[in-house]
A and B are shown apart, each in its own frame.
Chain A
Amino acid sequence: MHIPDGYLGPYTYIAFWIIMIPIWYYAGKKLNTELKSRQVPLLALSAAFTFVIMMFNVPIPGGSTGHAVGGAIIAIVLGPWAALVTISVALVLQALMFGDGGITAIAANCFNMGVVMPFVAYYAYKLISGNSEITSSKRIIASAIAGYLSLTMAAFFTGVEFGIQPILHHTAAGVPLYMPYPLSVTIPAMVIEHVLGFGFLEALITALIFAYIRRTDTSLIYGEISEAQKNEMKRAVPT
């Protein structure tokens, strides 16, 4: 899903830089006000984790290879803004140091995997969880669906960005200047391999890590509070 240099024309990649700069700025502010000391080790681990899981290539039937992103579990545990920051850092390093994803396409890649993915995941998880207890099995299902859906949505956005290139940029004779394939090819290509393959991998990773963290300490999950805090709140209520 890492768009290389040359696939997006200037209209598209410049537009994404313009979109992403204020988003990064806001995410930084958000982290500055929300981040708690006890989350710092998990934040650091998340950045390392998303880097490594994105370089872990997995084949699917049909001759394609791809990877999970880890964006859903990070969004559920640390919140979507922290996920945006960690994934962006990993993507910038992958582009600069390892040529995975283009330099011009950094902002577009950060939008797809760092914005679309964590926000879709976080709200899908919230919506499906509803009022269920943090310990209910519904939450596991919610985390798995969040992983599946969010990776697929990120792939869909990537497909759209690819597919609009022949419309935006071509020679007078109609020769495409950048990504040559139209929307009717790029969207199915990107979506189908994630719907049938990598989405399940993301779902599995999300549910496994979610179950593990929840079993050990539910208060580590974004928006949840610890037993001690709960008791304190009960005591604070005037009777």
Chain B
Amino acid sequence: MDKIVRNLAIGLTLLIILAPLGLLAVGETFGEWGPEELQEKLGFVPPGLEQLSGLWNAPMSDYAFPGDGESMTVSAAAYILSGVIGAVVCGSLLYVVGKKVAKN
């Protein structure tokens, strides 16, 4: 049991380190365009979409540091940091809650 958890955790760590490879993937994701991209595609931005799209400013939007024009190295570092934050926050939250509610 401990061995499985250890090995899966090693696999997860590797995955976090390799995640910036995804930054090399150029291409768009259907239905996740920003207002500017829609303007280009359609010639207009749907008004409701434009209003709602600015609703929330995430602190590390798109898994990057705030501000733009970063080098690939900085982007990769931000990406790895995001993975670490995500893994630690999700993992520890579920661990603490799990310990509280688990039956033997």
- Interface positions of A (Cβ within 8 A of B): 2-7, 9, 31-33, 35-53, 55-60, 63-67, 85-86, 89-90, 93-100, 102-104, 158, 162, 169, 171, 175-180, 186, 189-190, 193, 209, 212-213, 216-217, 220
| CB <8 Å contact, A98 and B82 | yes
| CB <8 Å contact, A41 and B5 | yes
Interface readout for B5-17 with A: 1 if CB under 8 Å, 0 if not? Answer: 1011100100110
Q: Which residue of A lies closest to B30 (CB)?
A: A189
| CB <8 Å contact, A98 and B91 | no
Beyond A40-B94, A44-B94, 11 extra complex contacts between A and B, CB < 8 Å: A6-B46, A31-B101, A40-B99, A63-B27, A67-B22, A86-B90, A89-B93, A96-B58, A98-B86, A177-B47, A213-B4
With contacts A4-B32, A55-B19, A177-B49 known, is A44 near B25, CB below 8 A? no
| CB <8 Å contact, A36 and B5 | no
Q: A185: shortest Cβ distance to chain B, in Å?
A: 9
Option from B28, B30, B90 in Cβ contact (under 8 Å) with A48: B90
Judged by a CB distance under 8 angstroms, whether B98 is at the interface is yes
Give the chain B neighbours of A56 by CB distance below 8 A.
15, 18-19, 21-22
Q: Which residue of B lies closest to A179 (CB)?
A: B31
List 7 A-B pairs, minimum CB-CB distance, nearest first: A99-B58, A57-B22, A177-B48, A6-B49, A48-B87, A6-B53, A47-B90
Q: A111: shortest Cβ distance to chain B, in Å?
A: 15
